Amino acid sequence: MTELLESGRTAAERERRAVNERATTERLKAIIAAARDENVTAQELVLASVRGAILAGVLDPGARLRQEELAELFGTSRIPVREALRALEYEGLVRSEPHRGFTVTSLDADDVEEVYDLRIVLESHAIRLAIPLLTDEDLVELEAIYNEMVVAPTPDEQLAARERFYLRLYSVSGRPRLVGLIARLRQEVARALRMPTLQHAPSIHEAFFEAIRTADADRAVTTLAGHYRRIPVMLRRYLREAEARERGSLADRRLYR
């Protein structure tokens, strides 16, 4: 009986895995189709599509990215795929390992906390540089993006508008290297912001924008830094709860064997 149950369970798990793989492929194809109009070269298309799939959670942490399979999926050679994966490695979204190739990086609470510590330093500096340089035109554009963020109907659209808002603000500093570093760090932890416990915090962004509007750099920096210090704490709690649920699920499976 145990052997039959184990055999049935294995078959069910294989079927579930196959269903998940098919669903992932279909979601990835949808992302590719959406990115195709905006990217000219094969490398740009692969880069934008795989990046989008990782940030949207379509490709899970630890997932192997086989170059030959991606090349077939995109209808291209392995060269643009390899170059795109190298670019994603630089962005911190994938890593290459000997004999394993490329895999999607995992979200580690210590890494996220380090990224947010760095973001506090860099983004606070960018805020203090940008606020004295803001023109009426800048404020009108920032308010338009902020309003998009407020009324965005989905978390993904809120996140996209939020990224545009902050990077538009920081670009006023006239420091492209600083803005580039900030953009890369923001991208590294974008996946964490899609977790249920780390969803959009409208009151924080409202207070921040009001500080920007009134040219109060100290209040803007304090609001942002306080928010960034809370995120790793919430992430640690979420990951601990997820780990506890997984342990409970494993215990239940053993009980019924």
Q: Does the pLDDT value for residue 53 go beyond 50?
A: yes
Give the span between the Cα atoms of 248 and 255, in whole angstroms. Answer: 11
Amino acid of residue 72 = E
Amino acid 200: pLDDT: 57
In percent, the amount of the chain with pLDDT more than 70 equals 84
Residue 2 has pLDDT above 50, yes or no: no
Q: What is the pTM of this model?
A: 0.69
| 212-218 long-range contacts, CB within 8 A, separation 24+ | 212/127, 212/131, 212/134, 212/139, 212/142, 212/169, 213/139, 213/143, 215/131, 215/132, 215/134, 217/127, 217/128, 217/131
Pick the CATH number of 109-246 from 3.40.50.300, 1.20.120.530, 3.40.50.720, 3.40.50.2300: 1.20.120.530
| Domain range summary for the chain, segments of one domain joined by + | 2-104, 109-246
Half-sphere exposure of 140 (CA within 13 A, CB side): 3
Using the predicted structure, report yes or no on whether residue 1 has a pLDDT greater than 50. no
Supply the pLDDT for residue 142: 97
Side-chain-side CA neighbours of residue 157 (13 Å)? 9
- Whether 144 has a pLDDT exceeding 60, the answer reads yes
Q: Which of 99-108, 190-199, 235-244 has the lowest mean pLDDT?
A: 190-199
Using one digit for the tens of pLDDT, what is the confidence trace for 181-204?
999 899 888 777 766 556 557 889
How far apart (Å, rounded) are the C-alpha atoms in residues 181 and 91? 10
Q: Does the pLDDT at position 97 exceed 80? A: yes
CATH topology of domain 2-104: Arc Repressor Mutant, subunit A (1.10.10)
Neighbours of 155 (CB within 10 A): 14
Q: Residue 67 pLDDT > 50, yes or no? A: yes
pLDDT of residue 8: 47
Mean pLDDT for the stretch of residues 201-225: 95
For the stretch 133-143, pLDDT in tens is 999 999 999 99
DSSP structure string for the chain:
-HHHHHHHHHHHHHHHHHHHHHHHHHHHHHHHHHHHTT--SHHHHHHHHHHHHHHTTSS-TT-EE-HHHHHHHHTS-HHHHHHHHHHHHHTTSEEEETTTEEEEPP--HHHHHHHHHHHHHHHHHHHHHHGGG--HHHHHHHHHHHHHHHH-SSHHHHHHHHHHHHHHHHHTT--HHHHHHHHHHHHHTTTGGGSGGG---HHHHHHHHHHHHTT-HHHHHHHHHHHHHHHHHHHHHHHHHHHHHHHHHHHHHHHT-
Structure tokens at 213: 């509007």
Share of the chain above pLDDT 90, in %: 48
Q: Tokens 């902050």 identify what position?
A: 166
Indicate whether 38 pLDDT > 80. no
245 vs 215, residue with greater confidence: 215
